[in-house]
């Protein structure tokens, strides 16, 4: 989780990752559980197999309120996130995935960071211009939306504003998966 993320951002990402953990058997046999990493590690989660409890991947989690159409066919992420993901892949020989929840489209997409193109035509200078903080601008990578494997995701963030009731949250997540 990033240093500039609000508590609401972290709640949204946590909800989305809980959903991903329950959906994960569709990606990895018997699924995975995430172990949260500190900001210094640059990715959000280490993924541990529910089958044998060994490392099975890495994950970066993003949520956006922008529609897929408004993104003009590309999703942008920090080049350093892609670089760290690739270095983890090289060191551990397991995938590093970027999961993005497109909240307004009721979809999420995922892509293996080792397959993201980083040649000159895909890298640019960008970031959060409106905040004006020095660390907000950095090298970014354009990932074509059609690179993502897209899935339906009928999560309703507003439905889960009460974080104290974890059992209701778990039941809600399971019902969302059953509806697909």
Q: How far is CA 67 from CA 91, 102, 104, 145, 146, in A?
A: 35, 6, 6, 11, 14
pLDDT at 173 over 80: no
Q: CB-side exposure of 55: number of CA atoms within 13 Å? A: 13
Q: Is the dihedral of CA 82, 48, 3, 13 positive or negative?
A: positive
Average pLDDT score over residue span 101-111: 93
Mean pLDDT of the chain: 85
Query: Which residue blocks in the chain are alpha helix, DSSP H?
Result: 7-23, 79-92, 166-178
CATH topology of domain 7-178: Trna Endonuclease; Chain: A, domain 1 (3.40.1350)
pLDDT band at 170 (very low <50, low <70, confident <90, very high): low
Residue 130, phi-psi category: left (phi > 0), alpha (psi -120 to 50), beta (remainder): alpha
Q: Tell me the per-residue pLDDT of 75-105, one tens digit each, with 9 for 90 and over.
A: 999 999 999 999 999 999 999 999 999 988 9
Say how far apart CA 81 and CA 111 lie, in whole Å. 13
Average pLDDT score over residue span 11-23: 88
pLDDT at 149 over 60: yes
Strand partners, 99: 61, 110
pLDDT at 116 over 50: yes
Residues in the chain, overall count: 180
pLDDT at 157 over 70: no
Say how far apart CA 64 and CA 81 lie, in whole Å. 17
pLDDT band at 124 (very low <50, low <70, confident <90, very high): very high
110 vs 133, more confident: 110
pLDDT of residue 38: 84
pLDDT of residue 30: 85
Q: Tell me which residue of 101, 123, 140, 104 sits closest to 14, measured CA to CA.
A: 101
pTM to 2 decimal places: 0.85
pLDDT of residue 1: 46
pLDDT of residue 29: 84
pLDDT of residue 118: 94
Report the share of the chain in percent with pLDDT over 70: 84
Do 131 and 138 touch, CB atoms closer than 8 A?
A: no
């Amino acid at each position: 989780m990033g240093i500039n993320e609000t508590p609401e951002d972290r709640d949204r990402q946590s909800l989305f990752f809980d959903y991903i953990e329950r959906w994960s058997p569709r990606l990895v046999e018997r699924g995975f559980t995430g172990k949260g990493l500190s900001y210094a590690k640059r990715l959000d989660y280490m993924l541990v197999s529910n089958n044998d409890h060994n490392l099975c991947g890495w994950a970066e989690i993003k949520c956006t309120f922008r529609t897929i159409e408004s993104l003009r066919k590309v999703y942008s992420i920090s080049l350093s996130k892609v670089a760290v993901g690739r270095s983890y892949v090289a060191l551990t020989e397991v995938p590093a995935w970027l999961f993005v929840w497109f909240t307004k489209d009721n979809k999420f997409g995922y892509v293996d960071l080792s397959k993201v193109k980083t040649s000159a035509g895909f890298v640019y200078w960008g970031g959060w211009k409106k905040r004006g903080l020095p660390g907000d601008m950095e090298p970014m990578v354009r990932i074509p939306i059609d690179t993502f494997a897209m899935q339906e995701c009928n999560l309703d963030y507003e439905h889960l504003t009460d974080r104290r009731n974890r059992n209701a949250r778990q039941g809600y997540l399971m019902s969302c998966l059953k509806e697909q």
